[in-house]
Amino acid sequence: MAVRAVIFDLDGVLVSTDEFHYRAWQRLADEEGIPFDRDANNRLRGVGRMQCLEIMLERSPRSYTPNQKAALADRKNRYYRESLTALSPADVLPGAWEVLRGLKARGVKVAVASSSRNAPDILRRTGLAGVPDATADGNDITRSKPDPEVFLAAARRLGVAPAECLVVEDAASGVEAAAAAGMPCLAVGAAAGHPLANLSAADLASITLDDILGT
């Protein structure tokens, strides 16, 4: 079936805020006396905030109540949001603008689907806010990837059947979510080569529109 729409994950696909996330989690871990490093941070890719917190707390010397966990997650998000003030259009990843403009020129619908509740702010700060025909983010869903909820929400808002939507993802959980949604997937970055992906590329600068659309 022909691709009528492309649904992009945000962080790591169109924009990179990985370092901002890492520094926020590292700051929180340091304040709580919890060992944390980049290897631990890599386990957080494509995972919802509370799930990320649970992963970080695996090495904690103490236990936390649900209310304390909620407070920790809010503190981390505050640190992260503070860092986003430095975000600008220069943080859009290589190839992203070219692919987005090319898809629009060919009449292919475009959506952004992110588990992050900060997605609207990121889109605004990077100049991408007016580009997607639809968006779905952490403010719209109750289940994070690998659950397909966010991709299915984006497809509904586009008015396109899931099988006609191609997902672009850089996290294994996102590739799994696309498969669960019944959507073909282009895996980029760390997810390239994932066995459930239909296509793989190092990044959006490394693949042509014809390859993306299967033409």
**Residue listed under structure tokens 């397909």:** 148
Q: Which amino acid is at 120?
A: P
d(CA 1, CA 198): 13
SS3 content of the chain, % helix, strand, coil (to 5): 50, 15, 40
113 CB contacts (<8 Å, ≥6 apart)? Answer: 7, 8, 9, 10, 135, 136, 137, 150, 151, 153, 154, 167
CA distances from 80 to 19, 28, 48, 50 (A): 10, 10, 14, 14
Expressed in angstroms, the distance from the first to the final Cα of the chain is: 11
Give the residue numbers annotated as catalytic, written as ranges: 9, 11
12-21 burial, b at 16+ Cβ within 10 Å, e below that, comes to: bbbbbbbebb
Phi, psi of 157 (to 5 degrees): -70, -25
What is the three-class DSSP state of 128?
coil
User: CA angle, 10 as apex, 55 and 151 as ends, to 5°?
Assistant: 85
